[in-house]
């Protein structure tokens, strides 16, 4: 005789999608330079890519739109047709400290080993001590807590920066922050995260504004 099963309670899975937009191309992102808090404008190509994001967002009805304070993110949101509800400093890019404006190649030449920001971190700069990956993850966690109630039944858009959004995605997926090193994110691209039976998942990743073979550096 089969034993009766006691019904178990399953909390409702959030129905909303989390849409991430990395800002369009700047001169430093084109050059592969780490662009943390330096407030650079978009290049003409970056503005073109930001405009091209609009059709990709047309199917979403956003209950909340948050944007980084930096002009490259705010201009991307504007050109993509988004109206931010708030500017969120927790969406700022990783503070690279003394590695601000430098390329990975130059840093490796100086250090003499295969440095990465995810595995080795940054050195203090003249104006800032920089951030650890755990500190970036703490900011990401605050963003995710903030948007959690909205995601229950509405979509949310976050407009920000490459490394910070990669760390945020790792936190969303309940992975260690350094898992973000495995997630390439090009300038002017869009990603969609959502839940499947309470499990956080990647629905779309690194979708370019316009299809093509050109890949941009991941820093900044």
Neighbours of 163 (CB within 10 A): 27
Among 23, 34, 161, 163, the active-site one is 23
Q: How far apart are CA 205 and CA 135, in angstroms?
A: 24
Q: How far apart are CA 145 and CA 163, in angstroms?
A: 19
Q: How far apart are CA 39 and CA 71, in angstroms?
A: 6
Angle CA(102)–CA(108)–CA(109) in degrees, nearest 5?
95
Across 65-96, b (16+ Cβ under 10 Å) vs e yields: bbbbebebbbbbbbbbebebeeebebbbbbbb
Q: How far apart are CA 85 and CA 178, in angstroms?
A: 30
Active site residue 131: no
Among 47, 93, 100, 131, the active-site one is 93
Active site residue 60: no
Element spanning 207, H or E: strand 199-208
Q: What are phi and psi of 190, to 5 degrees?
A: -130, 145
**Which runs of consecutive H residues, i.e. helices, occur in 80-132?**
104-111, 117-120
Q: Residues with catalytic annotation? A: 23, 93
């Amino acid at each position: 005789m089969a034993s009766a099963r006691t019904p178990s309670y399953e909390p409702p899975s959030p129905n909303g999608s989390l849409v991430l937009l990395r800002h369009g191309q700047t001169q430093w992102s084109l050059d592969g330079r780490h662009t943390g808090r330096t407030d650079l404008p978009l290049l003409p190509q970056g503005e073109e890519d930001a405009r091209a994001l609009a059709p990709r967002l047309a199917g979403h009805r956003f209950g909340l739109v948050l944007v980084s304070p930096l002009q490259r993110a705010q201009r991307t949101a504007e050109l993509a047709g988004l109206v931010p509800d708030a500017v969120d400093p927790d969406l700022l890019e990783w503070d690279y400290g003394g590695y601000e404006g430098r390329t990975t190649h130059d840093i490796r030449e100086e250090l003499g080993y295969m440095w990465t920001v995810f595995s080795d971190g940054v050195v203090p700069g003249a104006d800032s001590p920089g951030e650890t990956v755990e500190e970036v993850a703490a900011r990401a966690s605050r963003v995710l807590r903030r948007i959690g109630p909205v995601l229950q039944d509405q979509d949310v858009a976050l407009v920000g920066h490459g490394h910070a959004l990669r760390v945020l995605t790792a936190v969303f997926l309940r992975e260690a922050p350094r898992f973000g090193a495995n997630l390439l994110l090009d300038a002017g691209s869009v990603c969609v995260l959502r839940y499947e039976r309470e499990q956080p998942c990647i629905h779309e990743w690194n979708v370019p504004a316009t299809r093509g073979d050109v890949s941009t550096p991941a820093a900044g």
